Structure 1
Amino acid sequence: MTEPDRSPARRGPLVLGPMLRYVGETDATVWLETSGPGVATVHADGREWRAPTFSVKGHHYALVVVDGLEPGGDWSYAVSIDGASVWPEPDSPFPAPRIRTIDRGRPTRLLFGSCRTTVPHDRKGHRTNGVDALRTLALALARGEEEWPDLVAFLGDQVYADETSEAMREFIAARRSLDEPPGEEIKDYEEYAHLYGLAWGDDANRWLLSTVPSCMIFDDHDIRDDWNTSWTWHEEINRTPWWHERLMGGLSSYWVYQHIGNLSPAQLADDEIYARVIAGGEAGDDDGVGELDLTEAVFDLARRSDRHPEVYRWSFRRDLGDSRLVVVDSRAARVLEPQHRSMLDPDEMRWLDEQLTGDVEHLLIGTSLPFMLPPGLHDLEAIDEVLATGTRGKLVAQVAEKARQSIDLEHWAAFNDGFVEVFDMVMEVARGERGRAPATVVFLSGDVHNSYVAEVVDARTRHGATSRVIQAVCSPIRNPMPRAIRVMMSAFARGLVRPMRFVAERSKRVPDPAYPWVVTDGPWFDNCLAELTVQGRDLSIVWRGGEVRDGDDAHPVLTTVSSVRLPTG
């Protein structure tokens, strides 16, 4: 892979994208980054849709709303900037990008996964980081070997701000000394902008993102490992001299590069920041001369949302015809007070409560962190949370806090109050107490660098549920564990089940899960991207990876890592 050249002299009018983001029944949005102020135009079906650029920290962006489309339609599209054609590129080996609107009669095909590092797609990169499952799928789609997905859901760690590639380090070193904090990690918005360019600039992945709709939610590495793990972590990181600039750059760039593409046109109009872009365009200021600078507004939003998470919602919802996807922010909206920890603050919990209803065939809940961990790990995290509050003394609390940060004991189990509340909501849906019960309620997650399936035990007979309640995990897309650690982690998870249950059952402070579950499939540790396919009231999930054959590193072939069928009867 040749790293994309983002220098002003070489990049042309189109710096990054276009990316097909939101797609509904009658509308869509197309995101792009440009090299200067201007007007972006999407051409499709003999029509045009235009949007002026806006700027943040000297970078220029546009989000074009494509509306008035027919449900279930399929159109090729092109993009121009100030009248000059920029996409598709001349002599591109890839098919023309397309916009396919939602068809309620078409079974949903949803891709999901998390954790994707950015290194070259060559022999060295494959040796250190494995084959990129996303790029492998892109090549297979381009060759017509795979059926077209309706959406790809990226469930965290789209970029690694704390584990940078050689190309990223070269860019950083050209700006500042790597000996100064935060060293080789991302420091500010400018470095984040370059990081996104590296992550999405490869030709095959860039084409895929231009033609398959996507939605995204952050996890810790998008900002920093262990982000918002605990109050102690929060206090420690805020004492560093570089953290504030890093966080502001991370949240601001996330709003630009990831979040606004999650929103429907109606939600964009209601967004407190993006409404300014729309108002500017409606006022006729779309000639690029008076480009709207959103720097102050976006950075102010980042400051406010960090201090008071309730002021802005990063969670969102996508309706897919036969399915509903609710994507939950399980990082920024946490309650961290030691005596009252929850993955979601009260405002976020109320919003989720409103989204978790029935009257849909399949309810999908996207959360970067697995809701149902392997049972032994769940108990370990729940026990650690109790010990960290000081129930066994200050020294034990310090050890528990150190363990929480060093081995990532900070999933839903480590925020038990919120875990219990959300599980009760889900089981009410599964019992048909919030509308007609779906066939399945499925948590879609990543983060843990292995993939597996878990399910609530005897949901019908023990809990009166008519829905299957399932956890499906796909991680990593490209960031595998070393083989020795895979073996250790697999044995560790299995070996923890009995001793952790023994300890938990004898502790008054560690509650027994009201709805026990078991791991039914996995774990597997390959780089992979999962595909969930609706088959009426049934589901199937296939995890696919990539394999280099005959030494052709540039053209890996798609392989099946595992597959699971989930009939509902």
Structure 2
Amino acid sequence: MTDLLADLDPEPDQRLVLGPLLRHVDETTATIWVETASAGRVTVDASGHRAEAPTFSVHGHHYALVWLEGLAPGQKYPYTVTIDGLQVWPLEDSPYPPSLIPTLDHGKPLRLAFGSCRTSVSHDEAGNRKHGVDALRAYALRMAGITDGSHPDDPDPGGEVRWPDMVLFLGDQVYADETTEEMRQFIEARRDIEEPPGEELKDYQEYAELYRIAWTDPANRWLLSTVPSAMIFDDHDIRDDWNTSLSWKREMEATEWWHERIVTGLASYWVYQHLGNLTPAEREEDEPWQQILGHAKEVGDGEEYDATDLLRALAEKADQEPTTYRWSYCRDFGEQARLLVVDSRAARVLDPERRAMLDDDEMAWFDERMTGGFEHVLVGSSLPFLLSPGLHYVEAFSEALASGGWGKGLGAKAGEALRQHVDLEHWAAFQKGFQQVCDIVLEVLRGKRGPTPRTVTFLGGDVHHSYVSEARPKEGEPIHGRFIQAVCSPIRNPLPRAVRFATAALSYGVAGPIGHVVAASAKVPNAPVSWRLLEGPWFDNNIATLEVRPGEGLRMWWGTGEVENGDHERPRFAQVEEVLVT
């Protein structure tokens, strides 16, 4: 079958390595991120609204962040990107619609897409057989009108498809430790993979290539150019089980290759993901960005600023002293919603005597921003806050065991081995933080922090299956809103079918009675809430969408890509599940 879409996909302009990515957008401003092939000046023109910025470099790669101001709320602005006066976007003869900047209108219901865990492999039969259809790509093709199908984003009576106001990527955008064939070929061409870290990433050059592979598929590239995005890391952005425990960290730091991995992993994360998360006000408070910006103002069109040493120093310090830099961020969408995106990886306290998912500064930041006065409070965490109840207590038991709940000798060693080998390192395995966050949420839902929201809804990923749960307090005052956990994972990295069955059986069956028994034996504190599954689990590659229904609640749906008539390049986007929270 002739692949018409592949025939139409134009060759990218070689001056534009990656992007444009549309990042932070509000009612009147927009931020566009690009990677370029060389130093230069990047200009964005959105229907006469023009802004430009010089590039800065990191380890020989060149980047620019361009921000537009003075836009009108609720508008869609077609835009172009030029480098040193030469247009590089949109690409000529592109089959995709013009890239747009859609500014927010808080008078319209907020629509937010979210998901996690996406590997970047080919979209042909071989790639889809092993990794499943890329749900994000299927969504992009449907948005672009290249494929048809029926799903909640179909055109309204006026013929316009309602796009999400933002897509939130909840971790594992790139896999530094589980590389694809294309990435392995790049690694082998530059070093001996028989030497540590083997086929895993070693340095910034390899991270840059990993992001290039992840963000250059034409359909996904178009989507990222026209839907604002926000991101947060999870473990595979650095390495599986990143910051599981102090013994894990010490084991990594004893290797010859870990220092370069963590430094370049965090530095590249700042460049490719974190910088675009920030609001204009947050960028004014971000010291690394202000130093880059200050240099640009000082030299004008002169020498490009090399931020390599600046970002390496930032990464080294953030790894060793997490309180020195905050990766979490907050977004408000009028009175409809507040979104708190929480760093549940780098901000951990690993000292066995005071383990916590969030350090004191990070918890204080979260605590201060968990208030009422919004219709919904949304909390984005790469790790689900609420697992299945049984698995929750198994993880809590593993922490207690590793901390000496059955003695400091063999019992503690067994607990640490269990924690690392079975990935028991979610919120439940950091009971101090879990209990604190539960108390904060209950205060919000009891109206003690301002007008009670309809929901406090946690958005999560990581676990390679999706579900929706609801929690209730076990005792004390009733709550006046709903406490929801919604998970979407993976976008493209499915569990093998046999593992799916085992995951469902263990997490939602065997773990139940075992978890409560072993937790009691190690004197694990009872959770202040109980919770039950509302829908799920399901295991498809999927992307979820959440829509605020003013005065009514939330509507959430999950969609996947389906291949029809052997056309692997153009999968149909189809709904998997829909959940109403009223």
Q: TM-score, normalised by structure 2?
A: 0.94
Paired residue for 1:510? 524
Q: Indicate which of 485, 488, 492 corresponds to 1:478.
A: 492
Q: Indicate which of 201, 206, 213 corresponds to 2:221.
A: 206
Per-residue deviation at 1:563? 1.0
Paired residue for 2:506? 492
Paired residue for 1:17? 19
1:524 aligns to 2:571 (yes or no): no
Q: Is residue 11–residue 35 contact of structure 1 (8 Å, CA) maintained in 2?
A: no
Per-residue deviation at 1:391? 2.7
Mapping for residues 224-373 of structure 1, pairs under 5 Å:
224-283=239-298, 285-287=299-301, 289-321=302-334, 322-373=336-387
Paired residue for 1:97? 99
For 2:519 and 2:297, the matched residues in 1 are separated by 60
Paired residue for 1:542? 557
Per-residue deviation at 1:313? 0.2
For 1:397 and 1:462, the matched residues in 2 are separated by 35
For 1:176 and 1:11, the matched residues in 2 are separated by 29
1:147 aligns to 2:162 (yes or no): yes
Q: Indicate which of 111, 134, 154 corresponds to 1:109.
A: 111
Q: Indicate which of 110, 117, 120 corresponds to 1:118.
A: 120
Paired residue for 2:45? 43
Change (3 A) 1:11 1:100: closer
Per-residue deviation at 1:333? 0.5
User: Which residue type is aligned with residue 258 of structure 1?
Assistant: Q
User: Which residue type is aligned with residue 252 of structure 2?
Assistant: I
Paired residue for 1:70? 72
Q: Is residue 374–residue 453 contact of structure 2 (8 Å, CA) maintained in 1?
A: yes
Per-residue deviation at 1:68? 1.2
Give structure 1 regions of 4+ aligned residues with deviation exceeding 4 angstroms.
none
User: Which residue type is aligned with residue 299 of structure 1?
Assistant: R
For 2:101 and 2:277, the matched residues in 1 are separated by 16
Per-residue deviation at 1:458? 6.5
User: Which residue type is aligned with residue 174 of structure 1?
Assistant: A
Mapping for residues 53-68 of structure 1, pairs under 5 Å:
53-68=55-70
Q: Is residue 55–residue 293 contact of structure 1 (8 Å, CA) maintained in 2?
A: yes
Q: Indicate which of 435, 454, 462 corresponds to 1:447.
A: 462
User: Which residue type is aligned with residue 87 of structure 1?
Assistant: W
Paired residue for 2:443? 428
- Map Cα deviations across residues 466-505 of structure 1 (whole Å, 9 max, x no partner): 1100000000000000000111111112222123223334
- Map Cα deviations across residues 416-444 of structure 1 (whole Å, 9 max, x no partner): 00111111111111111111111110000
Paired residue for 1:406? 421
Per-residue deviation at 1:535? 0.8
Per-residue deviation at 1:270? 1.5
Change (3 A) 1:549 1:167: same
Paired residue for 2:132? 130
Per-residue deviation at 1:10? 8.7
For 2:360 and 2:565, the matched residues in 1 are separated by 55
- Map Cα deviations across residues 181-233 of structure 1 (whole Å, 9 max, x no partner): 10100000000000000000100000000000000000000000000000110
Paired residue for 1:556? 571
User: Which residue type is aligned with residue 322 of structure 2?
Assistant: P
Change (3 A) 1:491 1:442: same
What is the SS of the residue equivalent to 1:78? strand
What is the SS of the residue equivalent to 1:336? coil
Per-residue deviation at 1:87? 0.5
Paired residue for 1:165? 180
For 1:403 and 1:359, the matched residues in 2 are separated by 42
Structure 1 alignment gaps of length 5 or more: none
Per-residue deviation at 1:269? 1.8
Per-residue deviation at 1:101? 1.2
1:197 aligns to 2:212 (yes or no): yes
Q: Is residue 332–residue 338 contact of structure 2 (8 Å, CA) maintained in 1?
A: yes
Per-residue deviation at 1:453? 0.6
Number of aligned positions between the proteins: 557
Q: Is residue 394–residue 514 contact of structure 2 (8 Å, CA) maintained in 1?
A: no
Mapping for residues 77-92 of structure 1, pairs under 5 Å:
77-92=79-94
Per-residue deviation at 1:506? 4.8
Per-residue deviation at 1:11? 5.9
What is the SS of the residue equivalent to 1:185? coil
For 1:240 and 1:74, the matched residues in 2 are separated by 50
RMSD over aligned CA atoms reads: 1.6
Per-residue deviation at 1:268? 1.1
What is the SS of the residue equivalent to 2:303? coil
What is the SS of the residue equivalent to 2:529? coil
- Map Cα deviations across residues 38-58 of structure 1 (whole Å, 9 max, x no partner): 111110121210111000000
User: Which residue type is aligned with residue 74 of structure 2?
Assistant: G
Per-residue deviation at 1:286? 4.0
What is the SS of the residue equivalent to 1:344? coil
Per-residue deviation at 1:445? 0.2
For 1:404 and 1:458, the matched residues in 2 are separated by 28
Q: TM-score, normalised by structure 1?
A: 0.96
For 1:213 and 1:274, the matched residues in 2 are separated by 20
For 1:160 and 1:73, the matched residues in 2 are separated by 36
What is the SS of the residue equivalent to 1:227? coil
What is the SS of the residue equivalent to 1:168? helix
Change (3 A) 1:131 1:10: closer
For 2:515 and 2:169, the matched residues in 1 are separated by 32
- Map Cα deviations across residues 122-181 of structure 1 (whole Å, 9 max, x no partner): 100000000000000000000084521000000000000000011101100110011111
Q: Indicate which of 392, 397, 401 corresponds to 1:383.
A: 397
What is the SS of the residue equivalent to 2:137? helix
Structure 2 alignment gaps of length 5 or more: 147-153, 155-160
What is the SS of the residue equivalent to 2:287? coil
